[in-house]
Amino acid sequence: MRKNILFLLLSCIATFCSYSCSKSDNGGDSRKIDFAIYRDATTPNFVRFEASEINPDALYDWIIQDDSKQKTNSPEFFCYFEKKGTYTVALHYLLNGKTQAITTQTVTISDDSYYFLQNEGLWWNDEFGNSGLNYQYWNFDQGTGVWGNNEWQTYTNKSENAFIRDGKLVLKAIKPGVGQKVGDYTSARVTTKGKKEISRGRVEVRAKLPGGVGIWPAIWLFGTKASPYYSELDIMEYVGCDKDIIYGAIHTTQSLEGAQKISASKTVKGVEENFHVYGMNWTGEKIEFYLDTPDNIYLHYQPEDKSSPRVWPFDKELYLILNIAVGGDWGGMRGVDDSIFPCEMEIDYVRVFRKK
């Protein structure tokens, strides 16, 4: 019996010593928490970092060259490097209040970003890297038959209609009803109203669009702060019955009265199969919509006289809206094909820049 007790005691001491010796000087675990670096060739100044170990009980501190750019409590970190150079990135992995591992890597940025060269800074962005929609940025519009245009969908806040998948926001239109009437379809409409409202600046949304007769996805801005004058910026609208044609429009009080229609269209082959950047540059002088790159402009609005808010109501904030409508006066002008459901709009990112 005494030998057994002595053996157990020695075993416990050995285990304790082994555990103690495996600890680093900072009280952490000697194992290394690596992180991967992901870069998109189309936007090389935007870099995503992802820890190799995901632990819901851990904290993740990301530090860029020991400055204030850091993010806590997420195994993924997104950073915009506006200037060329080589940067040191450190990941501090903490568990139970103690640093368990520190890993550093370097990332080299070859060129100053386009936006930096335009004297623009990143004001706000959402890369959809979390497990769910960030409610500090987004709201859900909800309801049936209150959106104008005689649309058929019911907008909900249900996870089946809006969710994050593989780092992208997915808006999904489905047909839970019999079909062919108002209320037989559900979809999602998310907005930044009251949270991230924009007055001038550059907006870029990278998205892949749903297709089919009767579907109507849109990326647009709206607001009532210019009331009683009307202000709406439709960066992208796609009616699935007009395959591979995107539309943009600027609506003011004057344009709605029919005095001056401000709209344009552009053919984009494979718009339903490929991601594209739908962009807008809004300054005090002009508004431009573009596709993929800022020089590929498909709508330009620059009235000579901006003194009347009937013509230029764009000195007030607007909020961003992302949605999929079903049917309606325009989207359903050739009916609704029930065989296309479910269908999805995928949003890779939203980025907003402002002059410094």
Catalytic residues, by residue number, are 232, 237
Identity of the amino acid at 39: R
241-255 burial, b if ≥16 CB within 10 A, otherwise e? Answer: bbeeebbbbbbbbbb
Identify which of 61, 56, 49, 63 has the alpha carbon closest to the alpha carbon of residue 93.
61
d(CA 322, CA 139): 11
CA distances (Å), origin 54, targets 123, 126, 296, 297, 334: 29, 21, 41, 42, 48
d(CA 13, CA 18): 9
Instruction: Indicate the SS3 state at residue 253.
Output: helix
Structure tokens at 185: 């379809």
Kind and range of the H or E run holding 336: none
How many angstroms from the chain centroid is the CA of residue 328?
Answer: 26
d(CA 278, CA 271): 11
